[in-house]
Amino acid sequence: MKIIEIEGGKELSGTIRVSGAKNATVAIIPAAILADEEVTICNIPEITDTDALCDILHDLNVETTRASGSLVINPKNMVNTEIAEEHSKKLRASYYFMGALLGKYHKVSMFFPGGCSIGARPIDLHLKGFEALGAVVTKDKSKYTVEAKELKGANIYLDIASVGATINIMLAAVLAKGKTIIDNAAKEPEIVNVATFLNNMGAKITGAGTSRITIEGVESLHKCFHEIIPDRIEAGTYIIMGALCGKNLKIDNLIPEHLEALLSKLEEIGIDLEVGQDYVIVSKGTNLKPTNIKTAVYPGFPTDLQQPLTVLLTQCNGKSKLTETIWENRFMHINYLNMMGSDITVKNQTATIIGPTELKGHQVVATDLRAGAAMVAAGLAASGKTTVTNVEHILRGYEQIIEKLTSVGAKLKLKEIKDED
C-alpha cells in the first residue's frame, strides 16, 4: 500500500501548474478507437487512470506511443476482443469503451466497470441510450453484451443530466445512420472537450455544452491532433489548499470560467483571490464567513470539490452546511476530519460544519479519490504529522501531487509500505 506522510503547517508559495483534465482524458482515450487512423492527444496527465486505459487499448491490440504529456493511439490493427476483467474493474471510465466499441463494431461485451465507491453508480441511462439507437442489451452476472444490426440516430431524453451517459451516447452515435439528439444532456466542460475531439476526427456534433446535443452520423473518422483542457477539479483542489495555507500561491494554466462556482463561493466566505486570464493567486484566509453549499451539475458547485472544500469550511467562523446531491456516499472523509479535530455532523445528505476548529495531524484514510485530496488538504493545514493511507486512489487523478506540492513549500512524501504494517 502507498501512504503519504505530511508535516503540516507549512506556508505554500510559488506556482503550481495544472495538468490535463482526468475526466476528459478518460473519455478521449476510448473515443480515439473510433478513428481508422492514428490520433495524437497532448496534455495527457500522467496518472494511473491513463495507465489503466492504455492497458485496455493493448488488450484490443491498439498501438500506443507515450511521450511526456502526449499519447499517440493507432487503432489500425485493432481487434474487438473482450477486455480483461482486471482492466475494466480498475476504473469507472472503462465503460466508455462500450459506446466506442458499439459505435465502431456494433457489438461489445464487457465486464462491469470499477471506480470510486461514492454511490450505487448505475449505468441504466447509458444502456437506454444504446437501446434507443437500436442495440439490444443483455446482462449476465458480471458482464454486459450490447449488440446492434445497425445503429440508427434517435431522439434521446436523459432523465438525469449524466456526464457518463451523455458521452457514451455521443460515442455510440457518431458513426450511426442519421441524426441523434440528446436532450437534458450534461454540460460539463469535459463533454465539450470530448465533442471537440470527435469533431476534429470528422464527426458532426453541435450543441455540446448546452442541454441539447445534436449528432449527425458520419461514415468514418480520421486522424487528428487534439489537446486536453486543464483539469478544473485539480485546479480547484490546489486553490482550496492555497486558501488554507497559501501565501500568494499561483495556480497556473486553468480556465477561470470552469471554476466560477468555486471562485464565487471562496470570495463569499472572504478569501482574497486574484483571477487572471489563465491563473488564480490565492492566500490563506482569516476571519472567514460560514456558508451553505449544494452540489449540482455544471455550472453548479461540483461534487468533485465538495470533499476538499469541507476542509476549508472547518476554518470558517460559525455554522456551514454542505449538501451533496449527486452521490449518496460521498461523506466518508468526515470521520477522518473529525479525528483531526473538526466538528462535523452528517444527517441525510447534509454535512453541518461548526468552525473554526484547529486541525491536528492524525492517521487517516483516502477512501476515494477526492476524499484523499481532502485528507492531503487537511494534513497540510494541520499541526503535526498526518499519515494518509490508501493513496492509490489519489494517484488515479492527481498528476505528480507530491512534486507539485513540494515545489511550493509543502513537506510531504510518498512511501510504499507492506499492507500488514
- Member of 33, 171, 263, 369 binding ligand EPZ (CB under 6 A): 369
Beta carbon nearer to ligand EPZ, 67 or 160: 160
- In whole angstroms, give the CA distance from residue 258 to residue 21: 12
Segment 302 to 331, residues that bind ligand EPZ, using CB under 6 A: 303-304, 326-327
CB of 10 to ligand EPZ, least distance (A): 26
Tell whether residue 392 is a contact of ligand EPZ (CB under 6 A).
Answer: no
Given phi > 0 = left and psi -120 to 50 = alpha, else beta, which region is 36?
alpha
Tell whether residue 228 is a contact of ligand EPZ (CB under 6 A).
Answer: no
Among 206, 205, 204, 202, CA closest to 224: 202
Tell whether residue 417 is a contact of ligand EPZ (CB under 6 A).
Answer: no
Beta carbon nearer to ligand EPZ, 326 or 405: 326
CB of 74 to ligand EPZ, least distance (A): 24
Q: Is 116 a catalytic residue?
A: yes
CB of 247 to ligand EPZ, least distance (A): 28
Q: Which stretch binds ligand EPZ (CB under 6 A): 12-20, 155-163, 196-204, 285-293?
A: 155-163
Tell whether residue 164 is a contact of ligand EPZ (CB under 6 A).
Answer: yes
Write phi, then psi, for 153 (nearest 5 degrees). Answer: -50, 150
SS3 of 255-274: the string is CHHHHHHHHHHHHHHCCCEE
Residue 415: partners with Cβ closer than 8 Å, 6 or more residues away: 2, 3, 4, 5
CB of 124 to ligand EPZ, least distance (A): 5
- Contacts of 416-421 with CB under 8 Å at 24 or more apart are 416/1, 416/2, 416/3, 417/1, 417/2, 417/3, 418/1, 419/1
- Member of 41, 163, 173, 259 binding ligand EPZ (CB under 6 A): 163
Q: In what order do the strands lie in the sheet containing 179-183?
A: 155-157, 179-183, 212-216, 204-206
Beta carbon nearer to ligand EPZ, 87 or 92: 92
Segment 92 to 131, residues that bind ligand EPZ, using CB under 6 A: 92-93, 116, 118-126
Write phi, then psi, for 312 (nearest 5 degrees). Answer: -65, -35
- Enumerate binding residues for ligand EPZ (CB under 6 A): 23, 26, 92-93, 116, 118-126, 160, 162-165, 186, 303-304, 326-327, 369-370, 397
Active-site amino acid positions: 116
